Structure 1
Amino acid sequence: MLGTIAGDIIGSAWEGSGEKRYDFPLFTEFSRYTDDTVMTIAIAVAVLDRRDYTEVMREIGARHPFAGYGRRFHDWLLSPDMPPPDSYGNGGAMRMSAIGLAAVSEAEALAQAQGAAAPSHGHPEGIRGAQAVALAVFLARSGASKDHIRQSISSRFGYNLERTVAGIRPHYTFSVAAERSVPEAILSFLDAGDYESTVRNAVSLGGDADTMACIAGGIAEAYWGGVPASIAEEARSRLPEEFIAVVDRFYERYPLAARDADYAGSTPAEPEHSRIGKSQSIATRAEPRLDAAGAMPLRPIADAREYRLVTERLVRQLTADVAAAALVRELERVLRYEIEHGVPDDTRLASRLLARPRKRARRTALISDIHGNHAGLLAALEDIEKRHCDRILCLGDLVDGGPENERVIETMQRLRVPCVRGNHDETNDLELAETSRRFLLGLPEYIIEDDVLYIHISPRPRKRKINHAVEAWNVFEESDFRLLFIGHVHVPMIFGERSDTYGEAAPHPFEYNRPFAFSRDERYIISIGAIGYGRDDVGRIRYAIYDAEAHAVELRAIDGPLLPHDHTLGGCTLEFS
């Protein structure tokens, strides 16, 4: 499990780069989990809860819609009536580690692999790749030698595993086809001496780096009984609590015994009669996940570790806000009373809040990239006040650039402006108060409201700046939102999905301070500009007003103080930033 996930995270920063280095940094600021991890978690949940694979993949995938799925798989994921795509890609193979770790026999591993892959990768090559990975993980976990694994996979699936990574690397080219990536991923394990060298081998081939490292890492974890503690810790730090809870629950039921003190294994336990289930098919339906009011029920905190993670996150979010801290004290009083006096669940405060319908904002002012320009922020707020907006949202980068970072944070907290986290909020060399640092790190990565997404850079796993038509097209291909509002670019832009040029989105012209009406049957990406400084010659503060009722956006340009900046350093290039 964690070997698969860590491989995905490590490879994510190098996917499609063509980089063939072996000595690359394992983790960078761009390293994050992708669809490979999301689907690995989904299969693990299906195994743990004895549920239908398709159902769980769609359920968990819908909660993480911007993980970098291919377009056909994304459509299948969100379309219950869509027939299986019968893909021959490696997407079925990359999610097989839980199958191999839980199976009690080769036959079970092969049967369950087919069942878990077929919903989306039913082509014979897709099935073959998935079964090969599941069997390799099962054999590695069962103590088989590398020679035995090599022979078993080669004889059963016809893969050429007599090659070496060094021999493949110079001529290998990117491919998502299972027959051109799964054997190479398995070879990356067979040709390695430990977990880290396995993942480095897979990434160094310069192909589908995240998926190949994901596959190879899952086999390596099973073989060596775990993941090096330092890698495991770094990978876990980049996962949502939901995924960490699944990983911990999986290891509790299907433990691995580490073969080396440097590996993060788990305590052995007595095996079950069938580690997956009582039959060759996991097809039991899940119980309804909504309560009587139509809201998601509260999931109890599983253990002391999850309690610590949840409370640490809340401390980061609430410490710097005096009003919020006072509200927490009031909530604690209410909760104590409810517990001590046995207030029924359906009348408790939390249930009443969850069942209460949300009030929709009509006019939303969107600001971004303040970069410590407090005077510019005040100018924007003054203009916003005249525009009869219902609320303000900030799309990140509150700090780093201007001299008044603390004042910007203080103003945003005082006005209770919801913010997403920008790259400068997360990583900077500023001397900030500890409460300010916690506030910034506690900000969410994105906000989703129905089919509208607010995010700083991009919903794609590899965060590329959306400042040109090619990258906008890529985002449309991998996402399913109706509107996407972004910061980071510092220059207002509007891209539409409909285009006469394949591989490029359609740039739309607009006029400042006049509404741009969205077509009801088209999707759009809107870069809203910046408060801190621009990256062009306009020389004005810029932000946006989204009118949900009128289905329009107004890109505002107003006079006000800007930070000095050489805009030639940030033009519309195909940069990776």
Structure 2
Amino acid sequence: MKLLLIADIHANLEALQAVLKVPHDRAICLGDIVDYGPDPDRCIDLLQKKDIPTIRGNHDNAVAFKVDCQCGYKYKHLSVATREYTWEILDRSRIEYLQRLPLLIKEEIDGKKLYLTHASPRSIYEYIKPETPDEEIQSMIDGAAEPVEVEFLAVGHSHIPMNRKLGSLTIINPGSVGQPRDGDTRAGCAVFDTETREMEFLRLEYDIDAVCKKIEERMPYAEELMAILRWGY
């Protein structure tokens, strides 16, 4: 099976539409549908229309329950400002959709066991990055609410693609669909072939100008939000 992994859409409809065109048998979203972008409602609707299992990210959680997103200092003011916009856009049914999203998904596909969550197995706020020390990741795994007794751990949250080993565990981050922060402005995703165990990381062009136009017309802090999309960090 070709499993499409997507994460950190952040209300960027054009980027989401681009990654969903990648050939796949099934897709799973690792969270953060909302905040920062102009189309939170349409992104939620598309995921529901496609019946894509989705995990609740820290921004989804903040919008759904009106709590702190606990994101990094550099972007926090943008998150807070765009959340007011997001609440204006989303109706009650879409808020309830975010509230119902699970914090993790466990799957076994073609004999491969996967643990999928937004940030770390211990918290929706912790970052697992390419430079995170092994012992720090291990402590996150040891502190998980449910045992991480799998071969593959898939996370998002950092917006940075990653494929690394920790003992017998492979940790995957497909990167960000709607807000890459690794200097590459293209939408990010990954396709995991569960039969061959091969992982392909993809970057796809999309209409950034169209997204920026909507941000400029509708949203606060438009210049900063557009700069992130145009620079990729």
**TM-score normalised per structure 1:** 0.30
Deviates more, 1:549-558 or 1:424-433: 424-433
Please tell me whether residue 489 in structure 1 is matched to residue 158 in structure 2. yes
Deviation at residue 558 of structure 1 after TM alignment: 1.3
CA contact (8 A) 2:7 2:174 kept: yes
CA distance, structure 2, for counterparts of residue 552 and residue 411 of structure 1 = 27
CA distance, structure 2, for counterparts of residue 490 and residue 461 of structure 1 = 16
2:105 to 415, 425, 447: 447
Q: Which residue of 2 aligns with 1:390?
A: 25
User: Quick one: percent identity of the two aligned structures?
Assistant: 31
2:192 to 527, 535, 546: 546
Please tell me whether residue 363 in structure 1 is matched to residue 10 in structure 2. no
CA contact (8 A) 1:459 1:475 kept: no
Amino acid in structure 2 at the alignment position of 1:415 = K
Amino acid in structure 1 at the alignment position of 2:49 = R
CA distance, structure 1, for counterparts of residue 134 and residue 98 of structure 2 = 27
**Runs of 4+, deviation exceeding 3 Å:** 468-473
CA contact (8 A) 1:491 1:536 kept: yes
Q: Which residue of 2 aligns with 1:523?
A: 169
The SS at the match of 1:369 is coil
**TM-score normalised per structure 2:** 0.71
CA contact (8 A) 1:373 1:403 kept: yes
CA distance, structure 2, for counterparts of residue 439 and residue 462 of structure 1 = 18
The 5 A counterparts of 1:232-381 are 362-381=1-20
Q: Which residue of 2 aligns with 1:61?
A: none
CA distance, structure 2, for counterparts of residue 566 and residue 558 of structure 1 = 17
462 and 408 in structure 1: CA distance in 2 versus 1, 3 angstrom threshold: closer
CA contact (8 A) 2:179 2:228 kept: no
CA distance, structure 2, for counterparts of residue 461 and residue 367 of structure 1 = 19
Q: Which structure: greater strand fraction?
A: 2
The 5 A counterparts of 1:557-568 are 557-562=203-208, 564-566=226-228
CA distance, structure 2, for counterparts of residue 373 and residue 444 of structure 1 = 22
How big is each residue's C-alpha offset from its partner over 1:329-386, in whole Å with a ceiling of 9 and x where there is no partner? xxxxxxxxxxxxxxxxxxxxxxxxxxxxxxxxx111111111111111111112x1xx
CA distance, structure 1, for counterparts of residue 33 and residue 133 of structure 2 = 25
Amino acid in structure 1 at the alignment position of 2:132 = V
Amino acid in structure 2 at the alignment position of 1:445 = L
The SS at the match of 2:164 is strand
How big is each residue's C-alpha offset from its partner over 1:121-158, in whole Å with a ceiling of 9 and x where there is no partner? xxxxxxxxxxxxxxxxxxxxxxxxxxxxxxxxxxxxxx
How big is each residue's C-alpha offset from its partner over 1:404-436, in whole Å with a ceiling of 9 and x where there is no partner? 111111111111111000111110332210000
CA distance, structure 2, for counterparts of residue 438 and residue 554 of structure 1 = 34
Deviation at residue 468 of structure 1 after TM alignment: 3.9
CA contact (8 A) 1:472 1:495 kept: no
Q: Which residue of 1 aligns with 2:45?
A: 410
The SS at the match of 2:17 is helix
CA contact (8 A) 1:460 1:475 kept: no
CA contact (8 A) 1:473 1:497 kept: no
404 and 470 in structure 1: CA distance in 2 versus 1, 3 angstrom threshold: closer
Amino acid in structure 2 at the alignment position of 1:481 = V
424 and 463 in structure 1: CA distance in 2 versus 1, 3 angstrom threshold: closer
Amino acid in structure 2 at the alignment position of 1:381 = L
CA contact (8 A) 1:369 1:398 kept: yes
Amino acid in structure 1 at the alignment position of 2:196 = A
490 and 565 in structure 1: CA distance in 2 versus 1, 3 angstrom threshold: farther
The SS at the match of 1:543 is strand
The count of aligned residue pairs is 182
Q: Which residue of 1 aligns with 2:126?
A: 464
Rg larger in structure: 1
Amino acid in structure 1 at the alignment position of 2:9 = I
Amino acid in structure 2 at the alignment position of 1:364 = L
CA contact (8 A) 2:5 2:28 kept: yes
427 and 471 in structure 1: CA distance in 2 versus 1, 3 angstrom threshold: farther
CA contact (8 A) 2:19 2:187 kept: yes
CA contact (8 A) 2:14 2:207 kept: yes
472 and 407 in structure 1: CA distance in 2 versus 1, 3 angstrom threshold: farther
Q: Which structure: greater helix fraction?
A: 1
Deviation at residue 471 of structure 1 after TM alignment: 4.6
529 and 552 in structure 1: CA distance in 2 versus 1, 3 angstrom threshold: same
CA contact (8 A) 1:541 1:561 kept: no
CA distance, structure 1, for counterparts of residue 185 and residue 194 of structure 2 = 28
445 and 565 in structure 1: CA distance in 2 versus 1, 3 angstrom threshold: farther
Amino acid in structure 1 at the alignment position of 2:61 = E
CA distance, structure 1, for counterparts of residue 158 and residue 59 of structure 2 = 13
* Higher RCO (C-alpha under 8 Å, 6+ residues apart): 2
Amino acid in structure 1 at the alignment position of 2:154 = F
CA contact (8 A) 2:159 2:181 kept: yes
Deviation at residue 464 of structure 1 after TM alignment: 1.5
